[in-house]
Amino acid sequence: MMARTLSVAAIGGVVVLLSASMVYGQIKRTVLQQTDLSIAGREVVTARADFPAGGATGLHTHPGDEISYVAEGSVELVIEGVSKTYKAGEAFHVDAGKVHDAKATGGPAVVIANYVIEKGRPATTPVK
């Protein structure tokens, strides 16, 4: 697998993911794949999120749906104030535009996330 470097641009509070790996909030996100879909103008970004014990993403949104799988540990997901904990082997879905936060509970965690977004849009936008 080819190693890629990180390029991040922050403009007006929007973080644009341009390459393979970055630290966002208290987690490290590594892009595993970014590919066009057969739907015109759409792409899917698959990323691995490594959470340290107690690490959190901070409040954020995505311009498209997020479909994620907890590969290791457990993660508390709070979507617009409603909390649910997901354990290793469980999956979750976050609708486009929903303000949410994820936090590792009980130790470190790994989440594999798929973002189905409009091509060229940032995968994640922090909420201040």
The domain locations on the chain are 8-126
Alpha carbon distance 15, 85 (integer Å): 26
Query: What confidence tens digit (pLDDT) does each residue in 2-45 have?
Result: 333 333 333 333 333 434 555 556 799 999 999 999 988 999 99
Instruction: For residues 113-117, give the mean pLDDT.
Output: 96
Q: Is 8-126 assigned to CATH 1.10.645.10?
A: no
Query: What confidence tens digit (pLDDT) does each residue in 54-71 have?
Result: 999 999 999 999 999 999
Alpha carbon distance 26, 91 (integer Å): 21
Token pair in block for residue 44: 């899917």
In this prediction, residue 1 carries a pLDDT of 35
Alpha carbon distance 36, 64 (integer Å): 14
Instruction: For residues 72-95, give the mean pLDDT.
Output: 97
Longest dimension (CA), the chain: 41
Closest to 14 measured CA to CA, from 76, 63, 77, 67: 63
Residue 106 confidence (pLDDT) above 60: yes
Please list the residues that pair with 72 across neighbouring strands. Answer: 110
In this prediction, residue 48 carries a pLDDT of 97
Alpha carbon distance 58, 51 (integer Å): 12
Q: Which helix (H) or strand (E) holds 91?
A: strand 91-94
Alpha carbon distance 81, 8 (integer Å): 29
Alpha carbon distance 25, 126 (integer Å): 9
In this prediction, residue 21 carries a pLDDT of 52
Higher pLDDT pick, 21 / 102: 102
pTM: 0.80
